[in-house]
Structure 1
Amino acid sequence: SAIRWPLRRMPSRPRAAAANPTLEEFFDQLDLNDEEFNDVDIDEDPGIKESVRWLALARVHTEKNFSPSAFYKDMRVAWNPAQLVRFRPVGPNRFVVQASCLGDWERIMTQGPWLFRNMAVLLCLYDGFSRAEDVVFVHMPIWLQIHKLTDPKENIVEKLLKGAGEIMEMRLNGNTRGDYVRVRVNHDIQQPLTKFVSIIRAREHQVYLVRYEKLARFCKACGLIGHEHKE
């Protein structure tokens, strides 16, 4: 009878690693212990704390190309800072802005909205260490006016503007330039602008016009900031 030789089992080849493993997959494959890290506590380092003070991220809300140097120049003119304001690009249409004093910082962050070539400039606080491209900021503080609203009450105005954004400040009286109330809201640029508000009084529907101060380019068809209706 024929001799049957035992079959030799070939050693299995290791599975090929993913061609482009993600950062999370890479760290999952590592066996790291806490004692292997040499952490730097930035809260305890005065030098690092000083370097990240008065930092913000800025973004021009547009898909169009523009000159960063022109943006820096126009913003310095608009902010009129008392001391140096530094700019640094950190990604497509993203810039780190750093003020040198508290007065300039408060003006930059609280006295907007700011415009560059009639386009909205969005700002948010920045810690200096997070990935700039991962930071999502879509809100723009802006003043609006409700005209011809007789005997305005704070609770009524809040209900009228519940879809306009978070109310940051409200001035119901003292507007000597007209019979309107001024309200500062944190507008989400992903949502359309509020064009009018309405109430029902004595079974009568009353509509009140909403106007905006320093409004950036917006679409009269869809109400979104960032483009015109012809675009």
Structure 2
Amino acid sequence: MEEKRGLKWNKIKLTTEEEEALVIGNSDDVTNTVNNCLVGRVLTHEKIDMTALKSTMKSEWRFAKGLDIIELGNSMALFQFANARDKARVLEGTPWAFHKNLLILSEYDGSITPESLEMNRCSFWIQISNLPLKWMNQRVGERIGDKLGCFEAVEVDENGNGWGRFMRVRVNIDVSKPLRRFMILELQKRERCRVILRYERLPIFCFICGVLGHSEKSCGNSGEEEESQYGVWMKAREPRKEDRKNIIVWRDRTSGLASPEVLDLTEDELIEKFALGVRMVTSFALAISYSFPLKL
């Protein structure tokens, strides 16, 4: 960011006084208030309205206990939440967008400058279609997810199957690279299958180069291809409640193992449960509790 203001570090020669270090590593020098924070960057080349960003995200997230948003410059902002639960809800609900541009979010503890964060990854639910039912299962979903990026979750039924028009896999991907459209899978007897990848809640991306953050009008590769290699067909609608499977299997971020969680069948309550941690509740038990509430 400083180079955009005319400062070129590789051209600067420090004076003797400027090279003297001030030691600030003592515990008394450290603030303990940098917690429950995320740094966000709007993926766009356009200048953003920070006032509008604050208003939009507060309206989207609707937290009762407050949310502090501080402008950091360079399309970046610091989001400080009232508690870890609210922060977790936001992370589990990605991707988020501002004016149809992707809002990249990253954990932040204050130990480095926000500009030093690698703000190039985001998690998406990806619908995988054209896959034979025999291979629509938890194990294959995990392997596909790890091939696309960092696997996070797969939606299946009680038997571990993701049968249907498509299988849903949640993956953390590098958004600085072109979106993957297809994947070749080698099945039994070396038979090959080409699956189609579609992304839920996909914000603005370029139909020419396939990269998020700009459209064809501002693409540097404009005019190189006769036909657009990407298109609106890569955007997937979120499945209806009746089309959802009732279990999401999440990969434990510490052990790397997959842990099942039963769906609550509503997006808000599902996100709420993710924030509270991994636990299993059957939809039948929920229905009973709603129909026959416990009277004390």
1:165, distance to aligned residue in structure 2 (A): 1.1
Contact 2:205–2:213, Cα closer than 8 Å, also in 1 = yes
Pair 1:92–1:23, CA change in 2 (3 A): farther
Correspondence for 1:179:
165
1:108, distance to aligned residue in structure 2 (A): 1.6
Amino acid in structure 1 at the alignment position of 2:54: Y
Distance, in Å, in 1 between the alignment partners of 2:216 and 2:23 is 54
State how many pairs are aligned. Answer: 203
Contact 1:91–1:132, Cα closer than 8 Å, also in 2 = no
Distance, in Å, in 1 between the alignment partners of 2:182 and 2:63 is 36
2:116 to 105, 112, 134: 134
Distance, in Å, in 1 between the alignment partners of 2:112 and 2:36 is 15
Distance, in Å, in 1 between the alignment partners of 2:100 and 2:178 is 18
Pair 1:218–1:41, CA change in 2 (3 A): same
1:60, distance to aligned residue in structure 2 (A): 0.1
1:38, distance to aligned residue in structure 2 (A): 6.0
Distance, in Å, in 1 between the alignment partners of 2:144 and 2:78 is 36
Correspondence for 2:13:
21
1:161, distance to aligned residue in structure 2 (A): 4.4
1:197, distance to aligned residue in structure 2 (A): 1.9
Distance, in Å, in 1 between the alignment partners of 2:142 and 2:196 is 16
Correspondence for 2:106:
124
Correspondence for 1:3:
none
Larger Rg: 1
Q: Where in structure 2 are the equivalents of 1:49-128 lying within 5 Å?
A: 49=32, 51-128=33-110
Correspondence for 2:215:
228
1:197 to 183, 187, 192: 183
Distance, in Å, in 2 between the alignment partners of 1:188 and 1:102 is 25
Distance, in Å, in 1 between the alignment partners of 2:207 and 2:56 is 26
Q: If each structure's helix is expressed as a fraction of its own residues, which one has the higher value?
A: 2
Distance, in Å, in 2 between the alignment partners of 1:83 and 1:70 is 20
Amino acid in structure 2 at the alignment position of 1:225: L
Correspondence for 2:221:
none
Distance, in Å, in 1 between the alignment partners of 2:102 and 2:15 is 34
Amino acid in structure 1 at the alignment position of 2:175: I
What is the percent sequence identity of the aligned residues?
Answer: 26
1:96, distance to aligned residue in structure 2 (A): 0.9
Contact 1:138–1:188, Cα closer than 8 Å, also in 2 = yes
1:178, distance to aligned residue in structure 2 (A): 4.4
Q: What value does the CA root-mean-square deviation take over the aligned residues?
A: 2.9
1:117, distance to aligned residue in structure 2 (A): 0.9
1:89, distance to aligned residue in structure 2 (A): 1.2
Correspondence for 2:227:
none
Distance, in Å, in 1 between the alignment partners of 2:94 and 2:205 is 17
- Structure 1: segments with no counterpart, 5+ residues: 1-18
TM-score normalised to structure 1 length: 0.76
Distance, in Å, in 2 between the alignment partners of 1:187 and 1:105 is 20
Contact 1:163–1:194, Cα closer than 8 Å, also in 2 = no
SS of 2:52 mapped into structure 1: helix
Q: Where in structure 2 are the equivalents of 1:139-150 lying within 5 Å?
A: 139-149=121-131, 150=133
Pair 1:23–1:192, CA change in 2 (3 A): farther
SS of 2:217 mapped into structure 1: coil
Contact 2:142–2:154, Cα closer than 8 Å, also in 1 = no
Distance, in Å, in 1 between the alignment partners of 2:103 and 2:60 is 12
Pair 1:40–1:209, CA change in 2 (3 A): same
Distance, in Å, in 2 between the alignment partners of 1:160 and 1:24 is 55
- Structure 2: segments with no counterpart, 5+ residues: 1-10, 219-296
Amino acid in structure 2 at the alignment position of 1:157: G
- Greater mean alpha carbon deviation, residues 93-102 or residues 197-206: 197-206
Distance, in Å, in 1 between the alignment partners of 2:34 and 2:186 is 51
Distance, in Å, in 2 between the alignment partners of 1:99 and 1:80 is 12
1:210 to 197, 201, 209: 197
